[in-house]
Amino acid sequence: MTGYRPLSDAERVDWLRLAGTEHVGPISFFQLIDRFGSAGEALAALPTLARRGGRSGVPKSPSIAEVKAQLAAIEAVGGRWIAAVEPDYPALLREIADPPPLISAIGRADLLHKKSVAVVGARNASANGRRLARDLSRGLAEAGLVVVSGLARGIDAMAHEGALAGGTVAVVAGGADVVYPEENRGLHDRIKAEGLIVAEMSPGTVPQARHFPRRNRIISGLSLGTVVVEAAERSGSLITARFALDQGREVFAVPGSPLDPRARGCNGLIRDGATLVETAGHILEGLGRLSQFGEPGPVSPLPDPVKADDGEVDRARQAVLGLLGPSPVAVDELIRQCHMSAPVVLAVLLEAELAGRLDRHSGNQVSLRYSSTL
């Protein structure tokens, strides 16, 4: 994506319609934009692409009226939609492999352009873990950093509390106007007034389990580094840490007693190379390796533009899809084994995804949907 500029009202409607289309994820969204030049042209091409991928029907897209209702709903609560090509979109988030095409923001949008650190952890946090999260976040805020977290109960809530006076961003799994959990309503209102609430989902969306990993990649994507205070061995906080690693960001972890299950995730991160931290100063020291809190080195944010001849794609389709199965495989490995150009392979995968036959996974991996047959 180059040539950042504000979208027109009509373009914003098209972007929201394309982003909300069945089987169009962030990666395929930008491939479509690269290939067709605009969201409007991509919407017009969807039926043909899906049919080539093996689908008889047309992928369902939100209507213009539905999208205009989304725009009105976010404006009614003082927010707005920001597209990835617009100058107000956060630069660090734009760099990840699968940035949200648009985010909704309520509150201080200027916080999106300040240096940020994510602080996340267990919902059922200990008293000491809660206090530490609050103190770490306050120290980071006093050093001029914005603290990003997920507005969950436990560690997340205390991270927001500690940083609110200096600046905090809450990334939520549902719509930006939806309070979840209900016990955080007061904190939600305070962040909306003094900080910033960010969401990828449409206004009014109630969070579901599948939404939380998508939210977690935004938490880490907005941040120079992710700090995990308490986390069980299998938890959303570790998913956030894994996203941070995939995005080329720093990972910090607070050690804990091996007798406490809430410490096992953090201790495991430290064994795997995360930086052990106990104070905000330790985090600042770790970030100092990034040239005084400068952004990380460039990460290839989006796939190469897909510019493949339809005839080449037709000839390649069987070979590419024949290498796919239910287990994820790296796209780069597919390209190597096919001995075909990247644009051709990416075009085949895009068609299969639009037909509902392909799933994408972190680490630029893909798999055939379990129910799919070739």
The answer to whether residue 1 sits within a structural domain is no
The CATH number covering residue 347 comes to 1.10.10.10
C-beta neighbour count of 45 within 10 angstroms: 14
Shared-domain flag, residues 168 and 29: no
Does the pLDDT of residue 296 top 70, yes or no?
no
Query: What pLDDT score was predicted for residue 152?
Result: 97
What Å distances lie between residue 42 and 17, 47, 159, 353, CA to CA? 10, 10, 41, 14
Query: What pLDDT score was predicted for residue 358?
Result: 96
Does the pLDDT of residue 55 top 80, yes or no?
yes
CA angle 113, 119, 123 (to 5 degrees): 135
Shared-domain flag, residues 151 and 268: yes
Task: Beginning with the edge strand found earlier in the chain, give each strand of the sheet holding 358-361 in spatial order.
Answer: 329-330, 365-368, 358-361
Structure confidence at residue 2 as a pLDDT band (50, 70, 90): low
The answer to whether residue 298 sits within a structural domain is no
Shared-domain flag, residues 67 and 125: no
Across the range 95-123, mean pLDDT stands at: 97
Shared-domain flag, residues 71 and 136: no
- One-letter amino acid of 346: L
Does the pLDDT of residue 295 top 50, yes or no?
no
Task: Pinpoint the alpha helices (H) of the chain.
Answer: 9-19, 26-36, 39-52, 64-76, 91-94, 127-142, 155-163, 185-194, 211-221, 236-246, 261-271, 280-287, 310-322, 331-338, 342-354
Structure confidence at residue 297 as a pLDDT band (50, 70, 90): very low
State pLDDT tens for residues 19-37: 999 999 999 999 999 999 9
Question: Domain limits at 149?
Answer: 105-290
The answer to whether residue 246 sits within a structural domain is yes
Among 290, 323, 350, residue at a domain's last position: 290
Does the pLDDT of residue 133 top 80, yes or no?
yes
Among 227, 258, 290, residue at a domain's last position: 290
Structure confidence at residue 170 as a pLDDT band (50, 70, 90): very high
Is-above-0.95 flag for pTM? no
Shared-domain flag, residues 237 and 360: no
Does the pLDDT of residue 299 top 50, yes or no?
no
Total tally of structural domains belonging to the chain? 3
The CATH number covering residue 281 comes to 3.40.50.450
Parallel, antiparallel or unpaired: strands 329-330 and 365-368 = antiparallel
Structure confidence at residue 4 as a pLDDT band (50, 70, 90): confident
Shared-domain flag, residues 111 and 191: yes
Shared-domain flag, residues 120 and 257: yes
Shared-domain flag, residues 259 and 174: yes
- Mean predicted lDDT score pLDDT of the chain: 92
Which of 48-52, 189-193, 364-368, 369-373 has the weakest average pLDDT? 369-373
State pLDDT tens for residues 305-363: 446 778 889 989 999 999 999 999 999 999 999 989 999 999 999 999 999 999 999 88
Among 65, 81, 97, residue at a domain's last position: 81
Does the pLDDT of residue 194 top 80, yes or no?
yes
State pLDDT tens for residues 225-264: 999 999 999 899 999 999 999 999 999 999 999 999 999 9
Shared-domain flag, residues 141 and 275: yes
Query: What pLDDT score was predicted for residue 298?
Result: 38
Rounded CA gap, 297 and 248, in Å?
Answer: 8
Shared-domain flag, residues 50 and 143: no
The answer to whether residue 100 sits within a structural domain is no
The answer to whether residue 90 sits within a structural domain is no
Query: What pLDDT score was predicted for residue 120?
Result: 98
Shared-domain flag, residues 239 and 341: no
Which of 73-82, 252-261, 294-303 has the weakest average pLDDT? 294-303
Shared-domain flag, residues 234 and 320: no
